[in-house]
Structure 1
Amino acid sequence: MSYQITMENKVAVVTGAAQGIGAAIASKYAEAGAQVVILDVCPKSCAEELLQKLSKYGKKAAYYLCDVSDSTAVAAVFAEVAHRYGRVDVLVNNAGVVADWDKSYAINAKGTYYCSEAAKPYLEKAEGTIIILTSASVFSGGTGIPQYVTTKAGSYALTLFLAREYAKAGIRVNGIAPAVIMSKMLVERFGSEEAAREHYKTVMPLGRMGEPEDIANIALFLACELSEYLCGEVLIADGGRMHIG
């Protein structure tokens, strides 16, 4: 009999999930049976294709327009989600930006904290888990964007801080630190997906760049019972570049 990961009867909130890594995580959770709730600043129309895809897994995903840097709005949304579904089991703090210093700090660091604090009372009841998306650039200093590296370092530090604080409430907090993942930004930088993939063939020890689904697989692991003894761990997902590259 094969082992199957299931998120049936779980409610998972994923921030910044209209596209990219967040959308891949939302899809993976929906496929595993979770009730998915997406928070994003994009109009709902931007995610219609994704929402239709998620509905094919059996549950209609919810979509809330929410700026995670607005603590009042965040608290209201989590209260609404808890009222609507009766629980919150998983929070994925995925929302992030490449912007100026103030906006980067507001979203990448403060937004992560606001969402975690707003979700805490509901996660405590469910003995739930929080997953924070930080960045491998925190360890390497790469990307060439100081405000991004600095504020992602803030989300990394928050992972450790919240893991220590929330463990007392039975909430596990872990993180994922991706490196180069296929995105619209990379396509624009290299001119095409093919060019980006070709470039990283010789850069990454595994011979390829990462895909959003690679991160989604790790997020599924961190949300399920297989990782229930992990707390305060940040998994570096970079195809081996940091350790053996």
Structure 2
Amino acid sequence: MKLNNKVAIVTGAAAGMGEAIAKEFAKEGAKVVVNYSRSSQEAEAIVDEITKDGGEAIAVKADVSKSEDVKQMIEKTIDKFGKIDILVNNAGILDDYTPVVDTSEELWNRIIGVNLKGPFLCSKYAIPYMLKEKKGVIINLSSIAGFVSGGGGAAYTSSKHGVIGLTKQIAYDYGKLGIRANAICPGAIKTRMTEEILKNDDAPVMEAIKSVPAGRYGYPEEIAKLALFLASDDSDFIHGTPILIDGGWVAR
């Protein structure tokens, strides 16, 4: 198995892409921390499914935009598993395509807090433990909105551009110390978070989805396969790279 005996934290893992990544990692031998921020019911159900299939996982509640929550999540991981090999900064929220003039400071702070400050905090507190092992992998979830406009509103697009910058800087600062950092940049992926948007043919994103070379939206399991590749030694020479998995959205 590609991740045998590795310890992985997956933020925002109670549904969607995070859930798919957590399950894929567990299937490949990783011990998984399933992070959630609201109800524990869904996270615990994922943990139960992983353990019934012979894997090992725990659910840990933490708001990734809050430093103390992140510290406690890292500490619980170390207490349970003794190390951190892989960090997937997946937790993210949308801003309903809100343009800059209509973006309140509250909305801005909330989007930036989860989407950009979250990966910063999780990386900040996980990296010291990776340095002790002289090896580690950080995978940040950005978006096509990290490359182009139109994939979200002002706050969302700014946050996802920022995630790519953070990823590159982590790779630059820590690559020679054994830590690889890369970013996954999905296009339109069918998850519970995007379900309502994808039902609405008038949504701005729908016109783009219909025109991408793939001619469809993507699925969380496809993102999980890419995450597995980036988490494994198969991608050992890939550092600081934002990888598009968008059905050709940006290539149009």
Alignment TM-score, normalising by the size of structure 2 = 0.88
- How far apart in 2 are the matches of 1:228 and 1:187? 35
SS at match of 1:67: coil
Q: Which residue of 2 aligns with 1:234?
A: 242
1:153 aligns with 2:149: no
Q: Which moved more, 1:149-158 or 1:49-58?
A: 49-58
- Which residue matches 2:126? 119
Q: CA deviation at 1:9?
A: 0.8
Distance 1:229 1:36 in 2: 24
The reply on whether 1:18 has 2:14 as its aligned counterpart is yes
1:63 aligns with 2:59: yes
Task: Give the conservation status (yes or no) of the 8 Å contact 1:14–1:26.
Answer: yes
Distance verdict in 2 for CA 1:164–1:201, change over 3 Å: closer
Q: Report the CA distance between 1:190 and its aligned residue.
A: 4.0
Aligned counterpart, 2:232:
224
Superposed CA offset, 1:152-181 (max 9, x none): 111111011111112132110011000110
Partner of 2:39: 43
CA spacing shift, 1:185–1:18, aligned 2, 3 Å: closer
Contact 1:66–1:77, Cα closer than 8 Å, also in 2: yes
Match of 1:93 in 2: 89
Q: State the shift of 1:115 in Å.
A: 0.2
Work out whether residues 3 and 25 of structure 2, in 8 Å CA contact, stay in contact via their aligned partners in 1.
yes
Return the letter of the residue paired with 2:50.
L
Could you tell me how far 1:36 is from its partner in structure 2? Answer: 0.5
Choose 180-189 or 128-137, whichever is displaced more.
180-189
User: Secondary structure at the residue paired with 1:242?
Assistant: coil
Q: Distance in 2 between matches of 1:55 and 1:217?
A: 20
CA contact (8 A) 2:144 2:151 kept: no
CA contact (8 A) 1:133 1:176 kept: yes
Structure 2 gap segments, 5+ residues each = 96-106, 201-205
Aligned to 1:184: 192
Identity of aligned residues (%): 38
Q: 1:230 to 1:240 in 2, by over 3 A?
A: same
Shift of 1:63: 0.7
What is the root-mean-square deviation of aligned Cα atoms in Å?
2.1
* Residue 190 to residue 180, structure 1, CA distance change in 2 (3 Å): closer
Q: Is the 8 A contact 2:34 2:43 kept in 1?
A: no
Contact 1:200–1:208 (CA under 8 A) maintained in structure 2 = no
Q: For residue 132 of structure 1, give the secondary structure of its aligned residue in structure 2.
A: strand
Counterpart secondary structure, 2:76: helix
Identify if the C-alpha distance between structure 1 residues 97 and 86 changes in structure 2 by more than 3 Å, giving closer, same or farther: same
Q: Is the counterpart of residue 28 in structure 1 residue 41 in structure 2?
A: no
Q: How does the TM-score come out when normalised to structure 1?
A: 0.90
Maintained 8 Å contact 2:34/2:47: no
Task: Give a deviation string over 1:97-121, Cα, whole Å, max 9, x none.
Answer: 1241011111111111100011011
State the aligned residue count.
237
How far apart, in 1, do the equivalents of 2:33 and 2:192 lie?
23
